[in-house]
């Protein structure tokens, strides 16, 4: 049987009240159920973890979430969409833009255009598909107080859009610490389907974790929480076919004497979680250089773009 033939209410163990509770937070399709954890589902539906595990197993069976041929994976990949960055050169580096179903991480020093790109994507996701958008809205988690609605208006009007209308479709939350950040991401599922969210931005994903868990003694706990946080974001990307864009801070490696000593923070947990990893750095004037550091299917390479009053553009 396929997903179309089975609904949430058809799953064994899902009664009317359980279905209503799940639907009230946007978990109204089988993929959302199948990618949830038993603890998460139990808390939302107010049921035991054993019952939640059976419901999840039933959803996974209904969706055939086992082995499949490479040809079937290729067919699923055709559902992937991309958001233009505003620069054709940067889009080409990324295989056409920021990809749905994936996490794209951009890291770099202050002023390297990480947040500028976050603002631009918040605007561009609202464009029609034939203009590089997804006809969707953005959810923006701001951890460093860098979101600027004035910049959104500037970028929107440069594309012929009404600034205030674009701002209405960007749902912004300020995270005050790492626990608050985690909570905001967990609550995101409440509005993803309700508000047609096609892009989630976390700017930056590591700032609060670095501040809240300083010192080697707290490293293991920090990485464990960060790992779970990133897996939640990936789950949303898979379940709702949306794009996740995260920015990351950098540090200088003291043992590097030749070449660029800059390294992204977050360790292997973050490095493995991001599908695409891009290193941004300043060049002369308003030029920025993007280097694709990691991708499952694209070659390493670089692209040059500029940050103008209108937004991200080609040089």
Cβ contact 232:200 at 8 Å: no
In the numeric block, which tokens belong to residue 161? 């859009």
DSSP collapsed to 3 states, the chain: CCCCCCCHHHCCCCCHHHHHHHHHCCCCCHHHHHCCCHHHHHHHHCCCHHHHHHHHHHHHHHCCCCCCCHHHHHHHHCCCCEECCCCHHHHHHCCCCEECCCEEEEEECCCCCHHHHHHHHHHHCCCCHHHCCCCCEEEEEECCCCCCHHHHHHHHHHCCCCHHHHHHCEEEEECCCHHHHHHHHHHCHHHHCCCCEEEEEEECCCHHHHHHCCCHHHHHHHHHHHHHHHHHHHHHHHHHCCEEEEEECEEECCCCCCCCCEEECCHHHHHHHCCEEEEEEECCCCEEEEEEEECCCCCCEEEEEEEECCEEEEC
Cβ contact 146:207 at 8 Å: no
What pLDDT digit, counting tens, does each position of 88-115 carry? 999 999 999 999 999 999 999 989 999 9
In the numeric block, which tokens belong to residue 132? 């590089």
**Does the pLDDT of residue 256 top 50, yes or no?**
no
pTM comes to 0.83
Q: How many CB atoms lie within 10 A of CB 157?
A: 14
d(CA 46, CA 294): 41
| Bigger pLDDT: 282 vs 62 | 282
What pLDDT digit, counting tens, does each position of 23-53 carry? 877 777 788 888 888 988 888 888 999 999 9
State the pLDDT at residue 251: 67
What pLDDT digit, counting tens, does each position of 270-283 carry? 777 889 999 999 99
**Does the pLDDT of residue 314 top 80, yes or no?**
yes
| Bigger pLDDT: 9 vs 119 | 119
In the numeric block, which tokens belong to residue 156? 């929107």
State the pLDDT at residue 216: 77
**Torsion sign across C-alpha atoms 286, 248, 198, 274:** positive
Structural domains for the chain: 8-62 (1.10.150.20), 77-314 (3.40.50.300)
d(CA 127, CA 132): 7
| Bigger pLDDT: 177 vs 266 | 177
d(CA 221, CA 234): 20
State the pLDDT at residue 219: 81
Cβ contact 154:311 at 8 Å: yes
């Amino acid at each position: 049987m396929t997903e179309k033939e089975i609904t949430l209410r058809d799953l064994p163990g899902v009664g009317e009240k359980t279905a209503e509770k799940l639907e009230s937070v946007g978990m109204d399709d089988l993929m959302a159920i199948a990618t949830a954890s038993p603890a998460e589902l139990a808390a939302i539906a107010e049921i035991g973890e054993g019952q939640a595990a059976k419901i999840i197993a039933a959803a996974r069976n209904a969706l055939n979430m086992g082995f499949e041929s490479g040809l079937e994976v290729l067919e699923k990949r055709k559902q992937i969409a991309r958001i233009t960055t505003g620069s054709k050169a940067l889009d080409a580096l990324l295989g056409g833009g920021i990809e749905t179903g994936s996490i794209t991480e951009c890291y770099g020093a202050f002023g390297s255009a990480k947040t500028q790109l976050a603002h631009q994507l918040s605007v561009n996701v609202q464009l029609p598909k034939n203009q590089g958008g997804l006809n969707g809205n953005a959810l923006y988690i701001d951890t460093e107080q860098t979101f600027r609605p004035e910049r959104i208006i500037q970028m929107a009007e440069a594309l012929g859009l009404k600034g205030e209308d674009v701002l209405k479709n960007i749902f912004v939350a300020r995270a005050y610490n790492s626990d608050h950040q985690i909570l905001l991401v967990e609550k995101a599922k409440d509005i993803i389907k309700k508000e047609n969210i096609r892009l989630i931005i976390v700017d930056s994903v590591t700032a609060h974790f670095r501040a809240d868990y300083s010192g080697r003694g707290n490293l293991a706990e920090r990485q464990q929480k960060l790992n779970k946080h990133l897996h939640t974001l990936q789950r949303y990307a898979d379940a709702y076919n949306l794009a996740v864009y995260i920015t990351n801070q950098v540090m200088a490696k003291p043992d590097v004497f030749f070449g660029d000593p800059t390294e992204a923070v977050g360790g292997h947990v973050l490095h493995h979680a991001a599908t695409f990893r891009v290193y941004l750095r300043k060049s002369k004037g308003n030029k920025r250089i993007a280097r694709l550091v990691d991708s499952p299917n694209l070659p390493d390479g670089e692209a040059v773009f500029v940050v103008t009053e209108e937004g991200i553009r080609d040089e």
